[in-house]
Amino acid sequence: MATVNGEVEGAEPEKKEEGDVRTGSLVSQSLPHEYQKEALEFDVESFRIDGAPLGERGDLDEEDRFLSLVDGGNWETLELEGSVTIDQDTVEDVFPFNEWDETPGRIALVKENPLAMSRDRQILADSPLERGTHEFALSINRDDHRGRVKIKPFLTRTEEGGSSGSKHASKVGARVADGLSWIVRLDERDDGGSLLMPIIEDFSDYDRFPDESHIHYLSLEAPRNPQLYLNKEHPQIINVLNNTGATGGPPRLRDVLYDYVEHSVWTQLLMQTARDTSPDTGEPEYSWQEDVLNIFLDDLYPGLGDDEAKVQLAEDVRSHVDIPDLVQRIERAVHQQYNIPSDTTNLIEEAIQSGD
């Protein structure tokens, strides 16, 4: 068996062969300790909408552990009741022998709703962990959630573990087991669910906002949840931006202003996405960045496959030498998103007609 290790100088890699070499990848991932997948029994026994049984509302598939309330009419609160059960075998698998009697474990039910940027948990059982069934009641407020809501139980450690050399987790908070999740799907919003619905604010009220010469501002202070603001200090411009017409001067001007805002915002979103994308795996940090990559990758790196393009983008933004080329690529790609010559020509023609 050929072997090489870090203390032995490795052979110099051969020069790359000519030809169309393509790269594929396989990924494996592991926790550094014993972990029992799907070992917690997670049952939802009842769903109630605004206090009434689910009945015919929604699309419930108990086998797939899925409830869709898309087109489920008006409602405010969905309540779920059920239980999470942990057995002795699971405890013995993930905790060392000396912790079987007084088990430093906690069962938490975690609710995740990525589109609403929401994640919270409910603790069902705490240390010392008792085996058996732990009941829960959980509410999903319609106004606070959108799209896919995942509910999943986890078992975690609550105390620092013993000596090293054990296969068991030792850190406080380490996940050691989970259960099969339930998915609740909520209806889409009329606005298309875009993350960037603008908010109108007076920029002079906030130190962190740009000065009054700006009509818009993209806040990336919380990169998980970018926010677009429009400056209330320019009410006539806001009025034009709010115009919903199709023809005439204000709608034509609106389209040109939208192009201007769009160019600025996409450029910033792309740079943030590039910075948050791993040069190792090509994976971005936040879910909205997947959408940004899907929109622009082909235009940014037309010769590369998706995975290679993501890695290249992440590498380029970290390379001082490659930044100017990257900025030009972004400029070109962002320009594909709107039609500034057409929108400006429409505005000019409208102005000429008005002047006749």
Q: Which of residues 278-317 bind another protein (CB under 8 A)?
A: 278-281, 283, 285, 287-288, 290-292, 294-295, 305-308
C-beta closer to another protein: residue 8 or 352 = 8
Applying CB under 8 A, among 55, 165, 324, 355 the residue interacting with another protein is: 165
C-beta closer to another protein: residue 30 or 354 = 30
Element of type H or E holding 184: strand 182-185
3-state secondary structure of 288: helix
Q: Which residue has the tokens 């552990």?
A: 65
Amino acid in the structure at residue 304: L
Alpha-carbon distance of 205 to 300, in angstroms, equals 38
- Least CB distance from residue 95 to another protein, whole Å? 15
Using CB under 8 A as the binding rule, the residues of this chain from 219 to 248 that contact another protein are: 228, 230, 232, 235-236, 238-239, 241-242, 244
- Least CB distance from residue 124 to another protein, whole Å? 22
Using CB under 8 A as the binding rule, the residues of this chain from 167 to 186 that contact another protein are: 167, 171
Among the residue ranges 47-55, 158-166, 326-334, 344-352, the one whose residues contact another protein (CB under 8 A): 158-166
282's tokens: 């090509």
278's tokens: 């791993």
C-beta closer to another protein: residue 74 or 244 = 244
The CB density around residue 157, as the number of other CB atoms within 10 Å, is 25
Contact characters 75-94, another protein, x per CB under 8 A: --------------------
C-beta closer to another protein: residue 42 or 286 = 286
Amino acid in the structure at residue 353: Q
Applying CB under 8 A, among 38, 188, 212, 331 the residue interacting with another protein is: 188
Q: Which residue has the tokens 């908010």?
A: 199
Instruction: Decide: is 164 part of the binding site for another protein (CB under 8 A).
Output: yes
DSSP alpha helix (H) spans, 51-201: 88-94
- Least CB distance from residue 322 to another protein, whole Å? 14
CA 41 to centroid of chain Cα atoms? 27
Question: In Å, what is the CA distance from 78 to each residue of 67, 159, 183, 355?
Answer: 11, 35, 13, 58
Using CB under 8 A as the binding rule, the residues of this chain from 2 to 21 that contact another protein are: 2-6, 10-14, 16-17, 19-21
C-beta closer to another protein: residue 87 or 308 = 308
Contact characters 93-132, another protein, x per CB under 8 A: ---------------------xx-----------------
Using CB under 8 A as the binding rule, the residues of this chain from 322 to 341 that contact another protein are: 337-338
- Under 8 Å between Cβ of 268 and 230: no
Radius of gyration of the chain (CA): 27
Q: Which of 267, 247, 196 is nearest to 350 (CA)?
A: 247
Alpha-carbon distance of 336 to 102, in angstroms, equals 62
Element of type H or E holding 273: helix 249-276
DSSP alpha helix (H) spans, 124-170: none
Among the residue ranges 31-39, 86-94, 120-128, 345-353, the one whose residues contact another protein (CB under 8 A): 31-39
Using CB under 8 A as the binding rule, the residues of this chain from 39 to 68 that contact another protein are: none
